[in-house]
Amino acid sequence: MNLTSMIPELLSALPLTLGIMFVAMIVGFFLALIATVFRVRRIPVISQVVDLYVSYARSVPVVLQLFVAFYGLPLVAEQFGFSDFVTANIAAMIGLSLYHGGYLSEVMRPAFLAVERGQHDAADSMGYSFRQKMLRIVGPQAVHYALPGYGNAIIYLIHNVALVMYIGAADVMATAHLIMERDYNQYQFGTYLVLAVLYSLLCGVAWLIIRFFEQRHAKYSSKTAARVKFTSV
């Protein structure tokens, strides 16, 4: 088998890689959103527990978090009679979701705090609830501050998806290693080069999407924040 014929086989594993990435991206986003709300509102006990979760997600190497998910989740699932539910793919999705959520929370929280205090006070004086204030006033400005860090978080997530091979998930990286072992490591350089191009394309697409949203939210920069208009409920 030559290098050209390997490419379709590598691409056949791409849907699983994208599936793990998108699940971790979506679930991690909502975990980060919930964690950020608890952290900025400083709810007793809950905020401390969330801080501990964020510290775990940011401090423990991602590959170790995947091992914890792969070996730990079946023990938890067994208590509820679902011991066969946690496969390598499920563990990869859950492990990366927890990692991404914790990491992303440290992007969202500073973005929220970066919004001028006067914006919060003005919304409070208008009688806005916390939800209304976030959706109409503070949220759009916080999104502008968070987008660059969010773009980095997505790129780091794409990179870390390659680690799921260590817990047995058959992503493109694991498929590449199987191909090389089958062909007695004849095309190592070419195979890794194809993977490098593939991951570069994924990161490039992510960067373009984030850049598009950055341009759309430019009106919420610090130069224009003072011109945000308040509307009555």
- For the chain, domain boundaries: 15-169
What whole-number distance in Å separates Cα of residue 22 and Cα of residue 7? 22
**Cα–Cα dist 19/202, whole Å:** 13
pLDDT value, residue 6: 79
Look at residue 121 and tell me whether its pLDDT is greater than 50.
yes
pLDDT in tens, 31-79: 999 999 888 888 888 989 999 999 999 999 999 999 999 999 888 888 8
Place of tokens 């994924």: 202
Burial 37-63 (b: 16+ CB within 10 A, else e): bbbbeeeeeebeebeebbeebeeeebb
Mean pLDDT of 144-167: 91
Q: Which two tokens stand for residue 186?
A: 């004849």
Output the pLDDT for position 26. 96
**Exposed / middle / buried, residue 72 (Cβ in 10 Å: 0-12, 13-18, 19+):** middle
Residues in the chain: 233
Query: In this predicted model, which residue has the larger pLDDT, 33 or 233?
Result: 33
Per the CB < 8 A criterion, the answer to whether 54 and 46 are in contact is no
Q: What's the rounded mean pLDDT across residues 93-103? A: 95
pLDDT above 90 covers a percentage of the chain that reads: 43
Q: What pTM was computed for the model?
A: 0.84
What confidence tier does 11 reach under pLDDT thresholds 50, 70, 90?
confident
pLDDT greater at residue 211 or residue 139: 211
At residue 27, the pLDDT reads 96
d(CA 182, CA 228): 61
Topology of the domain comprising 15-169: MetI-like fold (1.10.3720)
pLDDT band at 83 (very low <50, low <70, confident <90, very high): low
Q: Please say whether the beta carbons of 194 and 157 come within 8 A.
A: no
On whether the CB atoms of residues 228 and 119 are closer than 8 A, the answer is yes
**pLDDT reading at 136 higher than 80:** no
State the average pLDDT over residues 7-33. Answer: 92
Question: Cα–chain-centroid distance for residue 54?
Answer: 13
What mean pLDDT value characterizes the chain? 84
Sign of CA dihedral 167, 172, 177, 181: positive
CA distance 16 to 89: 8
Q: How does residue 233 score in pLDDT terms, banded at 50, 70 and 90? A: very low
Residue 3 scores a pLDDT above 80:
no
Predicted confidence (pLDDT) per residue in 184-219, tens digit = 767 788 888 889 999 999 999 999 999 888 887 666
Higher pLDDT, 223 or 125: 125
**Among the listed residues 200, 161, 202, the one whose alpha carbon sits nearest the alpha carbon of residue 24:** 161
